[in-house]
Amino acid sequence: MSMIEFERVFAEFENTISSAALKEVARYWRDLVRTGRLPGWNDIRPSAIKTHLPIVWCYDYDPGLDDFVGRLAGYEITGVSNKPFKGTRLSELRPNDKYPRALIRAKRVVQEPALYRGHGIVYKTEERRGFGERIVMPLVASQSQPAGIFGATEYKSVSEWARSAPDLNAEEEKWFSLAGLVDAPQLANC
């Protein structure tokens, strides 16, 4: 792993993040990166980011299902859905028209691997829309834990969002590839 190049890519990612809370979550993930290896589930210590746990969420990748399964989510995340998060497949949490894009995005974060920053409409169902900013970072598999994604989303009111974004119906995506900079996780059926 080229740590100098990794640090450059991470700095670009961090510089696109507006939210102070999301920057802190991203820095926490960054501090877990070790030479040649991205962090995995066993590296995460929720107490280290306890003030941000309400906006944090994580999914495991299940290669047998070729889907992501909710592992944990803070109350600000679980509050936007009427379904339980833990143990629920991404395909069941996301509306049918949004799931394919959500799966592609999540798999890219883990497969490539890559860092993701989105802002705009970050959650949408028939009843609700969530506006804000989200970040997603990869977690590698270990012998005892699956690969997954570690993310956080900070919501804003429609009026707050309207002041900073002209399109209230889209999420602007920014990608930061880590390919070749770290050992990429191996995912079956990807």
Q: How far apart are CA 40 and CA 43, in angstroms?
A: 6
Q: How many Cβ atoms are within 10 Å of 47's Cβ, its own excluded? A: 6
SS3 category, 188: coil
Supply φ then ψ for residue 65, to 5 degrees: -90, -15
Residue 79's pLDDT is: 74
- Give the count of beta carbons closer than 10 Å to the beta carbon of residue 75: 9
pLDDT of residue 188: 41
Looking at residue 123, its pLDDT comes to 60
Q: What is the pLDDT of residue 187?
A: 47
What pLDDT score does 72 carry? Answer: 92
Sequential DSSP letters for 119-135: EEEEEE-SS-EEEEEEE
- The pTM of the full predicted model, rounded to 2 decimals, is 0.87
The predicted pLDDT at position 142 comes to: 86
Q: What is the mean pLDDT of each run of 10 residues along the chain (190 residues)?
A: 86 96 97 86 94 96 95 85 88 85 95 92 58 91 91 75 56 88 53
User: Residue 9: helix, strand or coil by DSSP?
Assistant: helix
> What is the model's pLDDT at position 149?
97
pLDDT of residue 26: 98
